[in-house]
Amino acid sequence: MSSDSFSATSNEPRVQRRFIKSPDSKVRDDTLAKINQEIKQKDIALAEINAQLKKAVTDPKVSNERKTLIGELNELRKTQADFKGKRDLINNKIKEIDASLKRKIGEVQATTSKNNFKSAEEIDARIKKIDDNISSGDMKLVEERLAIKEITSLRKLRKDFSGIQTQQKSIDADKEKIAALKKELSGLNSKEVSAKYESIQKQLDELNLDNKSVNDKRTSLYNKRNALQKEKDALYNSIRKTRADFDEQYKHFKQALADERKRVADEEAKLKAEKEKSERSSKTSKILAEATQPAFEEEIDTVHTLLNVFDPSYVKPTKSNKSALEKSTFVTERQGRVIEQSTEDEIIKKDDNLFFAGSGPHKSSKKGKKGSKKFTLEPDVISSLGDLEIPLPLSQDDVPQTVEALKSKLQTFTATQEETTKKNIEAAKEKIAKLEAGWAKQDAKEAEAVAKAEAKKEAESKEAADQE
Q: Are residues 422 and 306 in the same domain?
A: yes
Specify the pLDDT at position 351.
38
Inter-residue contact 378 to 336 (CB < 8 Å): yes
> What digits encode the pLDDT tens for the residues 182-209?
777 776 666 777 777 788 788 777 777 7
Q: Are residues 101 and 61 in the same domain?
A: yes
Inter-residue contact 67 to 60 (CB < 8 Å): no
Which has more confidence, 213 or 118? 213
Is the backbone of residue 23 left (phi > 0), alpha (psi -120 to 50) or beta? beta
Residue 96: inside a domain, yes or no? yes
Residue 19: inside a domain, yes or no? no
From 31-40, 354-363, 378-387, the region with the lowest mean pLDDT: 354-363
Q: What are phi and psi of 370, to 5 degrees?
A: -90, 150
Which has more confidence, 457 or 278? 278
Q: In whole angstroms, give the CA distance from residue 221 to residue 350.
A: 134
Specify the pLDDT at position 165.
66
Which has more confidence, 329 or 80? 80
Averaged pLDDT, 381-400: 89
In 3D space, the residue among 393, 395, 415 whose CA is nearest the CA of residue 405 turns out to be: 393
From 93-107, 363-377, 424-438, the region with the lowest mean pLDDT: 363-377
Q: Name the domain boundary from 143, 162, 188.
A: 188
Q: Are residues 169 and 233 in the same domain?
A: no
Angle CA(166)–CA(171)–CA(172) in degrees, nearest 5? 95
Q: Is 276 exposed, middle or buried (0-12, 13-18, 19+ CB in 10 A)?
A: middle
Specify the pLDDT at position 118.
62
Residue 413: inside a domain, yes or no? yes
Domain hosting 385: range is: 293-314+380-461
Q: Are residues 421 and 449 in the same domain?
A: yes
Q: Are residues 205 and 306 in the same domain?
A: no
Q: Name the domain boundary from 275, 301, 330.
A: 275
SS3 letters for 195-229?
A: HHHHHHHHHHHHHHHHCHHHHHHHHHHHHHHHHHH
Q: Are residues 71 and 171 in the same domain?
A: yes
DSSP alpha helix (H) spans, 293-315:
297-310
Most confidently modeled of 99-108, 295-304, 459-468? Answer: 295-304
Residue 326: inside a domain, yes or no? no
Residue 181: inside a domain, yes or no? yes
In 3D space, the residue among 371, 412, 366, 419 whose CA is nearest the CA of residue 389 turns out to be: 412
> What's the whole-model pTM score?
0.41
**Percent of the chain having pLDDT more than 90?**
13
Q: How confident is the model at residue 349 (pLDDT cuts 50, 70, 90)?
A: very low
Specify the pLDDT at position 137.
72
Q: Which residue type is seen at 26? A: K
Specify the pLDDT at position 323.
38
Tell me how far CA of residue 83 lies from CA of 26, 189, 356, in angstroms: 73, 8, 157
Helix (H, G, I), strand (E, B), or coil: what is residue 318?
A: coil
Is the backbone of residue 336 left (phi > 0), alpha (psi -120 to 50) or beta? left
Domain count, the chain: 3
**With the C-alpha atoms ordered 64, 70, 73, 77, is the resulting torsion angle positive or negative?**
negative
Inter-residue contact 38 to 234 (CB < 8 Å): no
Q: How confident is the model at residue 229 (pLDDT cuts 50, 70, 90)?
A: very high
Q: How confident is the model at residue 177 (pLDDT cuts 50, 70, 90)?
A: confident
Specify the pLDDT at position 6.
41
Helix (H, G, I), strand (E, B), or coil: what is residue 337?
A: strand
Q: Measure the N-to-C terminal CA separation of the chain; round to a whole number of Å.
A: 40
> What digits encode the pLDDT tens for the residues 413-450?
888 888 999 988 999 889 899 988 998 888 888 888 88
Specify the pLDDT at position 162.
60
Residue 324: inside a domain, yes or no? no
Specify the pLDDT at position 205.
79
Q: Are residues 32 and 68 in the same domain?
A: no
Which has more confidence, 159 or 236? 236
Q: How confident is the model at residue 157 (pLDDT cuts 50, 70, 90)?
A: low
Averaged pLDDT, 322-342: 38
Q: Are residues 35 and 73 in the same domain?
A: no
| pLDDT higher than 90, residue 131 | no
Q: In whole angstroms, give the CA distance from residue 14 to residue 272.
A: 9
Q: Are residues 39 and 87 in the same domain?
A: no
Q: How confident is the model at residue 32 (pLDDT cuts 50, 70, 90)?
A: very high
Q: Name the domain boundary from 136, 166, 188.
A: 188
Q: Are residues 36 and 83 in the same domain?
A: no
In 3D space, the residue among 310, 332, 453 whose CA is nearest the CA of residue 395 turns out to be: 310
Q: How confident is the model at residue 11 (pLDDT cuts 50, 70, 90)?
A: low
Residue 194: inside a domain, yes or no? no
Q: CATH code at 114? A: 1.20.120
Q: How does the average pLDDT of the chain come out, rounded?
A: 76
Q: In whole angstroms, give the CA distance from residue 230 to residue 155.
A: 94
| pLDDT higher than 60, residue 40 | yes
Specify the pLDDT at position 35.
94
Residue 390: inside a domain, yes or no? yes
Specify the pLDDT at position 161.
63
Q: Are residues 179 and 75 in the same domain?
A: yes
Q: How confident is the model at residue 367 (pLDDT cuts 50, 70, 90)?
A: very low
From 42-46, 87-91, 320-324, 434-438, the region with the lowest mean pLDDT: 320-324
Specify the pLDDT at position 164.
65
Averaged pLDDT, 84-92: 82
Query: What's the chain's length in residues?
Result: 468
Q: Are residues 31 and 134 in the same domain?
A: no
If residue 338 lies in a helix (H) or strand (E), which one and from where to where?
strand 337-340
A 10 A CB-CB count for 174 gives 20
Which has more confidence, 335 or 417? 417
Q: What are phi and psi of 376, to 5 degrees?
A: -115, 150
